[in-house]
A and B are shown apart, each in its own frame.
Chain A
Amino acid sequence: MSDHGDHAGHDHADHHHADHDHAGHGHRAEPLAPVEARVAAIETVLIEHGMFDAEMLDGIVENFEHNLGPLNGAKVVARAWVDPEYRKRLLADGTAAIAELGFGGAEGDHMVVVENTPDVHNLVVCTLCSCYPWPTLGLPPTWYKAPAYRSRAVREPRTLLAEMGTPIPDGVEIRVWDSSAEVRYLVLPERPAATEDLSEAELATHVTRDSMIGVERL
């Protein structure tokens, strides 16, 4: 997955200049399911009622983010580490290879997997909102939706990553992938050293959500 040109229309130049609104980004096109609208209405009414505030709900959801975790994605990564043929299929057609493991759905129907190597580190962002591969990574972290992350990931990824505790050596190229409603990216992290003896299931427990977004190296 070294050819950016494969994803014309989703690279930064096009994304920023041609699609700089949500309509172009594809979100308006996604229908709001009646049940989703109803849940939003219940939240609005209860907050107006003074029952709790949005921050309290955010806190609970944040708890889920940490504890419901990126578990499906971790299984995909572990399979790719132990099975070279699967890895090839995953990099060639992420959606199909992820579906082989039974994961997919509306928020993951066009997945592109980008591979970290000793020379290349990949970072995923959604510059315009918070497009995120739900079926593989679960709930998006709060910072993923923050304007600071969304802008700095593009403008100064090296500085941002260092601040997030992941300094990238100078010789390593950083590639930034801008997720959208049409394409969602998943980083295939490098397999950590000294894990030869681990089973696929054990390997999966080493894969973190942040490593599959690209803000952590394992």
Chain B
Amino acid sequence: MTAPIPDALTSMDGPTALPRDNGELVFAAPWEGRAVALALALVERLDLPWDAFRLRLIDAIADDPERPYYESWAAALEALVLGLELATPDALAKATPTERSPL
């Protein structure tokens, strides 16, 4: 058995609470899980408080409350990456694939 899901994730509440179904966390597509993993890994590697991401997620949801949750998550992740100057909008545009990789 692996480690449990980090508390940072499961303890978020209000609009930032992860989508749940009957109390259980659910992803509707692979990229959603990948986006969550990216946020966790980035915060861990840079030794940032989880709030560095969480506050951007709050902003992203407030920016567009109708947008699906994980799209706001992706927007927050992008804002964090740009804010930390780990990437430029140009670099992200260049790295954006046009089709899904085979696996």
Partner-B contacts on A (CB < 8 A): 22, 27-28, 30, 32-33, 35-46, 48-49, 51-52, 56-57, 60-64, 66-69, 71-72, 75, 102, 105-107, 129-130, 134-135, 138-140, 145
Contacts and interface: CB of A to CB of B under 8 A. Distances in A.
B92 to A, nearest CB: 5
Given A32-B99, A60-B37, A64-B36, A51 B42 contact: yes
Interface in B1-54: 1-5, 21-22, 24-31, 33-38, 40-42, 45-46
A38 B74 contact: yes
7 contacts: A35-B71, A41-B93, A48-B95, A51-B86, A52-B42, A134-B29, A145-B103
B87 A49 contact: yes
A63 B1 CA distance: 9
Contacts of A75: 22
B23 to A, nearest CB: 9
B41 A56 contact: yes
B83 interface: no
Nearest to B24: A71
A12 to B, nearest CB: 20
A61 B41 contact: no
B41 A60 contact: yes
Interface of B: 1-5, 21-22, 24-31, 33-38, 40-42, 45-46, 70-71, 74, 77-78, 81, 86-87, 91-93, 95-103
B37 A36 contact: no
B78 to A, nearest CB: 6
B100 to A, nearest CB: 5
A63 B100 contact: no
A37 B97 contact: yes
B78 A42 contact: yes
A129 B101 CA distance: 10
A52 B95 contact: no
B40 A42 contact: no
